[in-house]
Structure formats: structure tokens, C-alpha cells
């Protein structure tokens, strides 16, 4: 792959996505950020779209291709939680999480793959979660949405592997962001006690692995789940 590539990172207005976008900028790539607010870190062009809305995703990609060129790397990172115990989980909270984390990922991957097939190369990285395979109390909706990304990446690998396109899942553990800052102290303590590394992760530690998967060095890695969790899931 030649630099600069056009890289799209969803959910790059803050947290892990922001760090991923910044890592690609530092690598000399041209980066577009896609989120509901359209906010983007310095050096990154922001586009507003809700990933749950297929038409909005299509319009944003059309604008990105027109402004920056064909998209070679997609990082599907946008995601949210609506935690609650199974017995009390509403249909709305289940649907919201699945619509954004799973269907939203489907929308961006489907749209990005069009151009990658034409280019005959591409890198798709989906941000899953340790909870996808490890489970999480109060996270039936979230863990189901993240586990599903594994099947999606593996099916894409089978469909598009022969066209120079890879699809992998990065599964972060407990990373210090706004998403985890809202968790109760007891939950945070319980996690820390279970993590062999005995600390929470930093956004840059996830970004480094994503950048590797999008690099030439990872050309033969596809359909994989790469944990970045301090050993919490023991590689699943
Ligand atoms: P965060 O700080 O809450 O950021 C989430 C990002 O997603 C924001 O940029 C947000 O931007 C965007 N977003 C949310 N809903 C969206 C929608 N419907 N359409 C488009 N963009 C949307 O979360 P984070 O902690 O960085 O998490 C990033 C990803 O890592 C998520 O998929 C999360 O599930 C996963 N993850 C996080 C952890 C962790 O410990 N933090 C662990 C495992 C996995 P707008 O508000 O501008 O739309």
C-alpha cells in the first residue's frame, strides 16, 4: 500500500476513535472522521452522519470520495452502550445498541467495500470488545452486538479475501474513555482485579494495533480477533 492512503474512522470525535484517527495522521495518511456531530481532531476532516442511517452513511462516503479520493482503510469504531440487566432491558435499549454497533458497522463496511473492490485492496478493522466473547453482566445487548462483528469479519474475509481486502476485529478491554468513566466504582474495581496487567488501557494502545492491522505487515492477517485487554480475555 502506498501513502498517503484515505482512511475513514467512524466515531473519531473522541475516545478510542480520536486516538486511531490521530495515529493514521501521524503515519502520513489522509483521514476522514464520521460521527453524528461531525467533530474531528486536528488534521482530520469531519463528516456528520449517524451510522445507523444507511442513506446518511452513503452520502458521507460519497462526499469523502469526492473530497479525498477512494477509501482504502475503514475503521468501524462508532459504538455505544445502554446497559441494564436482562429482565429489565427494554426493546428500545436493545434496538439502539444493535442499530448503532452492529447495523451501523454493516452500513459503513458495505459502503466502503464498494470502492475497495474497485481498488482491489483494502483494510477493514472493526472495533469489538472483550465483552463480545467474555460476556458482561448488564450487557446482553452490547455483548451480542460486538460478538456479531466476529462473524461479520470472518464472512467478509471469505467473500473478499481474494481481492486484497482484509477484515479483522480489535477487541479492547477496559480502556480509559468517556464510555468507561461513567461505570460505577465497584464495577471499575472488579474489572481491575480481574485484569492480569492490573491496570486499565490507554486509547493509544488500541490505536497502535489498529494501525498495525492496516499496514503492509498485516497483509496476511484476516478474520482474526485481536484482543487489547491486558490479558483479561486470555486471547479468548
Ligand atoms: P466514546 O468515547 O463514547 O466515543 C464514541 C464515538 O462514537 C464518538 O465519537 C461518537 O461521536 C460516536 N458515535 C456514537 N454513536 C454514533 C452513531 N450513531 N453514529 C456515528 N457515530 C456515533 O466511546 P469509546 O470508549 O471511544 O469507544 C469506541 C469504540 O470502542 C466503541 O465501539 C466501543 O464499544 C468500543 N470499546 C470501548 C471500550 C472502552 O473501554 N472504552 C472497550 C471495548 C470496546 P458522536 O457523539 O459525535 O456521534
Per-residue pLDDT of 39-64, as tens digits, reads: 999 999 999 999 999 999 999 999 99
Integer Cα distance of 36 and 32 in angstroms = 13
The minimum-distance atom of ligand 1 relative to the CA of 78 is: 7
> In this predicted structure, what is the pLDDT of residue 187?
87
* Host H or E run for residue 158: helix 140-160
CA of 99 to the centre of ligand 1 (A): 13
> Please, which residues bridge with residue 6 across strands?
30
SS3 assignment, position 167: strand
Asked if 192 and 200 count as a contact pair (C-beta separation under 8 A), the reply is: yes
Q: What is the pLDDT of residue 22?
A: 98
Closest C-alpha among 44, 2, 45 to residue 23 = 44
Residue matched to cell numbers 451501523: 104
Cis peptide before 155 (omega within 30 of 0): no
What's residue 1's pLDDT? 52
Residue 117's pLDDT is 98
The H-or-E segment that residue 21 falls in is helix 15-26
| Residues of the chain predicted below pLDDT 50 | none
What's the rounded Cα separation, in Å, for the pair 101 and 93?
12
Specify whether 220 is catalytic. Answer: no
- Which of 99, 186, 88, 104 has its CA nearest to residue 140? 88
Q: What is the pLDDT of residue 183?
A: 87
Q: Around Cβ 182, how many Cβ atoms within 10 Å?
A: 10
Cβ distance 8 to 71 under 8 Å?
yes
Task: Identify the residues whose C-beta falls under 6 Å from ligand 1.
Answer: 10-17, 35-37, 39, 50-52, 77-80, 100, 104, 127, 129, 172, 174-175, 177-180
179 Cβ contact list (under 8 Å, min separation 6): 15, 80, 81
Cell of 189: 474495581
Pocket test for ligand 1, best of 10, 16, 18, 53 (most atoms within 8 A of CB): 16
Distance CA(226)–CA(221), nearest Å, equals 10
In terms of Cα–Cα distance, which of 54, 25, 11 is closest to 177?
A: 11
Length of the chain (residues): 236
Separation of CA 68 and ligand 1 centre (Å): 24
Amino acid at each position: 500500500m502506498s501513502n498517503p492512503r484515505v482512511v475513514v474512522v467512524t466515531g473519531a470525535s473522541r475516545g478510542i476513535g480520536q486516538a486511531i484517527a490521530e495515529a493514521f495522521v501521524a503515519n502520513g495518511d489522509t483521514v476522514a472522521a464520521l460521527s453524528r456531530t461531525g467533530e474531528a481532531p486536528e488534521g482530520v476532516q469531519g463528516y456528520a452522519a449517524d451510522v445507523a442511517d444507511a442513506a446518511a452513511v452513503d452520502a458521507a462516503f460519497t462526499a469523502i470520495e469526492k473530497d479525498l479520493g477512494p477509501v482504502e482503510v475503514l475503521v468501524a469504531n462508532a459504538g455505544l452502550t445502554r446497559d441494564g440487566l436482562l429482565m429489565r432491558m427494554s426493546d428500545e435499549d436493545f434496538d439502539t445498541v444493535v442499530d448503532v454497533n452492529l447495523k451501523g458497522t454493516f452500513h459503513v463496511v458495505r459502503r466502503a467495500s464498494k470502492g475497495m473492490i474497485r481498488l482491489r485492496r483494502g483494510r477493514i478493522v472493526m472495533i469489538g470488545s472483550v465483552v463480545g466473547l467474555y460476556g458482561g453482566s448488564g450487557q446482553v445487548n452490547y455483548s451480542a452486538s460486538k460478538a456479531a462483528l466476529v462473524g461479520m469479519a470472518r464472512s467478509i474475509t471469505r467473500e473478499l479475501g481474494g481481492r486484497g481486502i482484509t477484515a479483522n476485529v480489535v477487541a479492547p478491554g477496559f480502556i480509559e474513555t468517556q464510555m468507561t468513566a461513567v461505570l460505577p466504582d465497584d464495577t471499575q474495581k472488579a474489572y481491575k482485579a480481574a485484569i492480569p496487567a492490573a491496570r486499565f488501557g490507554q486509547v493509544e494502545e488500541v490505536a497502535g494495533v489498529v494501525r498495525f492491522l492496516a499496514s503492509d505487515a498485516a497483509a496476511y492477517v484476516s478474520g482474526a480477533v485481536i484482543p487489547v485487554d491486558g490479558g483479561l480475555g486470555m486471547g479468548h
